A and B are shown apart, each in its own frame.
Chain A
Amino acid sequence: AAGVIQSPRHLIKEKRETATLKCYPIPRHDTVYWYQQGPGQDPQFLISFYEKMQSDKGSIPDRFSAQQFSDYHSELNMSSLELGDSALYFCASSCAGSWANYGYTFGSGTRLTVV
């Protein structure tokens, strides 16, 4: 079965550079969530989108922005990267109508290393 696809799997950037992470949700899933997991930390919710509109916002820095496109894929744009941005970034997707029963599915994550 198709899963949540994230790209790239690994990314190395220098400080002050920009990074773009992509997420392709499970087909027919209309909601996308982004989480950040620092080394040894629990995942922290960043932002979510439902039907291409931002639906909820968590601890996302102002340097980050995200959007969901017409094909439901989402991109997380990160500018002026800092060393502390090094983390695993997870995307998850769900179908709003069935979320209460099935929760959502995570992708394998993008490991961002800022040097």
Chain B
Amino acid sequence: SQELEQSPQSLIVQEGKNLTINCTSSKTLYGLYWYKQKYGEGLIFLMMLQKGGEEKSHEKITAKLDEKKQQSSLHITASQPSHAGIYLCGADNEGGSEKLVFGKGTKLTVNP
């Protein structure tokens, strides 16, 4: 079965600071999804990356996919308390399969 390793497991930053969360797969990545989850709530779709070298941005969040390294990074610029939550990466490791396997998440705390 796949393994998706996220790092760090938790992150505490001061408001305004930049941060990066990484997601590394032990298998080939056919698609990489980033979700944000508030504690005990639903998963909010952030971005999906499919092609090596692909980079997407939404507001202050940028995600990149390094297909060769089977890795994706999520970068938040000038973090705000509203960015706090658990960030989960999900991967399609079967190429065309519609089920995702998830990493264990990175808990982000942003102190005002």
Q: Do A and B bind each other?
A: yes
Chain A contacts for B45, CB-based, 8 A? 103-106
Q: Which residues of B contact A111 (CB under 8 A)?
A: 40
Tell me which residues across on chain A come within 8 A of B97, comparing CB atoms: 56
Q: How many residues of B contact A (CB 8 A)?
A: 22
Bound form: Cα–Cα A90–B42 in Å:
7
Query: Across the A-B interface, how many residue pairs have beta carbons closer than 8 Å?
Result: 55
Contact bitstring B18-42, A, C-beta under 8 A = 1, else 0: 0000000000000101010000111
Pairs of residues from A and B, 3 with the lowest C-beta to C-beta distance, nearest first: A108-B42, A42-B102, A106-B43
A residues near B, CB below 8 A?
31, 33, 41-45, 48, 55-56, 58, 88, 90, 92, 94, 96, 99-109, 111
Write 18 A-B pairs (CB below 8 A) sorted by A numbering: A31-B98, A33-B98, A42-B88, A43-B90, A43-B100, A45-B99, A45-B101, A56-B98, A88-B40, A90-B43, A92-B43, A100-B31, A100-B50, A101-B48, A102-B48, A103-B33, A103-B45, A107-B42
